Amino acid sequence: MARLNSQPKLESRWRHSIGDHVISLAWSSDGSLIAAASVSGPITIFDMATGETKHTLPGHAFGTTAISWHPKELLLASAGQDGKARIWNPVTGAEVMAVAGGSAWVEHIAWSPKGDSLATAAGRKVRLWGKQGEMLRDYPPFASTVSGIEWSARGKDFVVSGYGKVSFYRPDAADVVNTFEWKGSILGLAWSPDGKMLAGGGQDSTVHFWYVKSGDDLQMSGYPMKITAVSWDSTSRYLATNGGEMVIAWDCSGDGPAGSKPLMFERHPQPVADLSFQNRGPVLASGCQGGIIALWYPGGTKKIQAEADFGEGVSKVAWSPGDGRLAIGGEQGGVGLFTV
* pLDDT > 70? residue 43: yes
* Mean pLDDT value across residues 61-85: 97
Look at residue 4 in the predicted model and tell me its pLDDT: 65
Residues 6+ apart with CB under 8 A from 9: 306, 340
What confidence tens digit (pLDDT) does each residue in 289-326 have? 999 999 999 999 999 999 999 999 999 999 999 999 99
**Would you call 176 exposed, middle or buried from its count of C-beta atoms within 10 A (0-12, 13-18, 19+)?**
middle
Look at residue 329 in the predicted model and tell me its pLDDT: 98
* Mean pLDDT value across residues 147-169: 95
* Mean pLDDT value across residues 204-226: 95
What's the first-to-final CA gap in the chain, in angstroms?
A: 19
Look at residue 1 in the predicted model and tell me its pLDDT: 40
Cα gap 141→124, rounded to integer Å: 5
Look at residue 184 in the predicted model and tell me its pLDDT: 87
3-state secondary structure of 57: strand
What confidence tens digit (pLDDT) does each residue in 15-42 have? 999 999 999 999 999 999 999 999 999 9
* pLDDT > 80? residue 201: yes
Cα gap 26→290, rounded to integer Å: 22
Q: What structural domains and CATH numbers belong to the chain?
A: 229-340 (2.130.10.10)
* pLDDT > 60? residue 3: no
* Mean pLDDT value across residues 274-283: 97
Q: When comparing pLDDT for 260 and 271, which is higher?
A: 271
Cα gap 340→232, rounded to integer Å: 20
Taking alpha carbons only, the member of 212, 269, 272 closest to residue 248 is: 272
The mean predicted confidence, pLDDT, of the chain is: 95
User: What's the length of the chain?
Assistant: 340
pLDDT bracket for residue 128 (50, 70, 90)? very high
Residues 6+ apart with CB under 8 A from 245: 266, 268, 269, 270, 271, 272, 288
* Mean pLDDT value across residues 189-218: 95
pLDDT bracket for residue 5 (50, 70, 90)? low
